[in-house]
Amino acid sequence: MDRLLSITSKDDILPVYRGTPIGDLLEYHNLGRAFVPYSNAQLLIGMCMDNRKHLNMPDNFAFIIRSGGANLRYSEFKVSYAIAVGGVHALALIGHTQCGMVNLAARKEEFIKGLMSHAGWEREKAEEHFMQFAPMFEIGNATDFILSEVQRLRLRYPKILIAPLLYQVEDNRLYLIRED
């Protein structure tokens, strides 16, 4: 966790993000900045589908893509749409602590039993489903995954400002992830 930068004042926001939609997000969420009205999205946020995360920000401020582990590999057309048609120039990629996409192999049996009891699947089909898709969605360490995904997205969208963030479920705050 020594790679996390706590944001408790405007001065804690890295200079590259100050005065940008990413800095604004950090101010809204962590610092309680007063909301201003927006008619167009300023930012694209990629974040996990986990229900424990809620961002404090004004209406119409951001497009949000939610996917397991904040993995945007299979949502790239949506990212491109937000940039090309939505006109956003910044992307905040937000991982979080206690992510279910970390160490998926340990949840294999829970996953299979859940599909069997909640969805009526046969064990064989549930296991096959897990084996087919778990490797695509396993993210390993959340912080490392966010950093690697940010690097991948920066190569794909070189004119877009992209920031790696981590949401700590324990305190409901956003942290910048150090890249050095």
Q: What domains are there in the chain, each with its CATH number?
A: 4-101+140-177 (3.40.1050.10), 103-138 (no CATH)
- What are the pLDDT digits (tens) for 111-127? 999 999 999 999 999 99
pLDDT band at 45 (very low <50, low <70, confident <90, very high): very high
Q: With H, G, I as helix, E, B as strand and everything else as coil, classify residue 120.
A: coil
Mean pLDDT of 86-91: 98
The band of 85, judged by pLDDT with boundaries at 50, 70 and 90, is: very high
Does the pLDDT at position 59 exceed 60? yes
DSSP 8-state secondary structure symbol assigned to residue 10: G
User: Which pLDDT score, from 0 to 100, does residue 180 have?
Assistant: 79
Q: What pLDDT does 86 receive?
A: 97
In degrees and rounded to multiples of 5, residue 95 shows phi and psi of -90, 180
Q: Is the per-residue pLDDT at 32 higher than 90?
A: yes
Query: By mean pLDDT, which of 13-17, 25-29, 65-69, 126-130 is the weakest?
Result: 65-69
Task: Assess whether pLDDT exceeds 60 at residue 19.
Answer: yes
pLDDT at residue 1, as a whole number: 54
102 pLDDT higher than 90? no
User: Global pTM?
Assistant: 0.92
Average pLDDT, the chain: 95
Segment 4-25 mean pLDDT: 97
For the chain, the 3-state helix, strand and coil shares in percent, each to the nearest 5, are 40, 20, 40
- Can you read off the two tokens belonging to residue 21? 């939609």
